Structure 1
Amino acid sequence: MSFKLLAVAPLAALLLAGCDTINQNNISPDPGFGETTKYNAAVQVIDPDPVYSAQDSHPGDRGDKGAAAVKRYRTDAVKAPEKQATTSGPG
């Protein structure tokens, strides 16, 4: 029985070698391969020197703006959104 296993093992290894599709015929992967993952990682990295506008919350804020928004929501006094144009120039 072990002789059969020893005879089949090299054949199995030879057949599995045909499954290597990445470098067959010296074909390299696309140069942009993995760029999406690198981009997503870069987006999630904390900016060491952030720039905040006056409307943004800043580190150390107590949540006054958020509390006021929740109060307006609960009392049905939500601010109407500002109208913004999506096109410019003559129509």
Structure 2
Amino acid sequence: MTMNSKHLRTAILAGTCLATAACATGSGTDFMADESWGEANRRTMAAQVIDPNPVYDTAIPPTSAQNAVTAIERYRDDKVEQPERISTTEEPD
């Protein structure tokens, strides 16, 4: 075996060891436990979780089926009440 092939084999072995060691950190699926991700990532991930049993400060407002029926009839008869125009910018005097 020549000296070059011995160095090449040693380099390949060292690279394989480094790659294996790099893969050994963390479980691979539980990246939230990895401290290198940072607080911003944890907050972003937590914001995407839906609360299965939400609690609201106010109750659900009452609804009326009759109001819905009259609104649909106005829409069908083309008698929809036009809302007041509201501008988001001030017009010059």
TM-score between both structures, scaled by the size of structure 1 = 0.46
Higher helix share: 2
* TM-score under structure 2 length normalisation: 0.45
Structure with the greater relative contact order (CA < 8 A, sep ≥ 6): 1 or 2?
A: 2
Tell me which structure has the larger Cα radius of gyration.
2
